[in-house]
A = this chain, B = another copy of it.
Amino acid sequence: MTTAIDTERWARAWLSRVVEPGQRVVAELIDAVGPVELVHKIRAGDVPSALRRATTVRSLDDRVEVDLALAAEHDVRLLIPGDPDWPDLALHPCVVATAARKPDLAPPIALWVRGRSDLIPLFERAVAVIGARAATPYGEHCATDLAFGLAERGWTVVSGGAYGIDRAAHRGAVAAGGPTAAFLASGLDAPYPRGNTALFRQIAEAGALISEWPVGTTPQRLRFLARNRLIAAVSAGTVVVEAAARSGTSNTANQADKLGRVVMAVPGATTSAMSVGTHHLIREKDARLVTRVDEVLEDIGRFGDDLAPPRRAPARKRDLLDPLARQVLEGLPARGSATPEEIAAQAAVLPGDVLRALPVLELEDLVERRADGWSLRRGAR
Footprint of B on A, CB under 8 Å? 138, 141-142, 266-271, 275-276, 279, 282-283, 288-292, 295
Contacts and interface: CB of A to CB of B under 8 A. Distances in A.
Given A279-B289, A283-B289, A283-B290, 13 more contacts: A138-B271, A141-B271, A142-B271, A267-B279, A267-B282, A267-B289, A268-B270, A269-B269, A270-B291, A270-B292, A282-B289, A283-B288, A283-B295
Contacts of A292: 270
Tell me if A's interface is mostly helix, strand, loop or mixed. mixed
Contact of A291 (B141, B266, B279, B290): B279
Contact of A270 (B266, B270, B279): B266
Most buried by B among A283, A288, A289: A289
Contacts of A279: 267, 289, 291
Nearest to A146: B270
Contacts of A268: 267-270
A268 B266 CA distance: 10
Contacts of A269: 138, 267-269
Contacts of A142: 270-271
A137 to B, nearest CB: 11
Nearest to A278: B267
A295 to B, nearest CB: 7
**Lowest 4 CB-CB distances: which A-B pairs, in order?**
A267-B267, A270-B291, A283-B289, A282-B289
Nearest to A292: B270
Nearest to A299: B283
A190 to B, nearest CB: 36
Contacts of A138: 269, 271
Contacts of A276: 291
A136 to B, nearest CB: 10
Most buried by B among A270, A276, A279, A295: A270
Most buried by B among A142, A269, A288, A292: A269
A268 B271 CA distance: 9
Nearest to A295: B283
Contact of A282 (B266, B270, B282): B282
Contacts of A282: 267, 282, 289
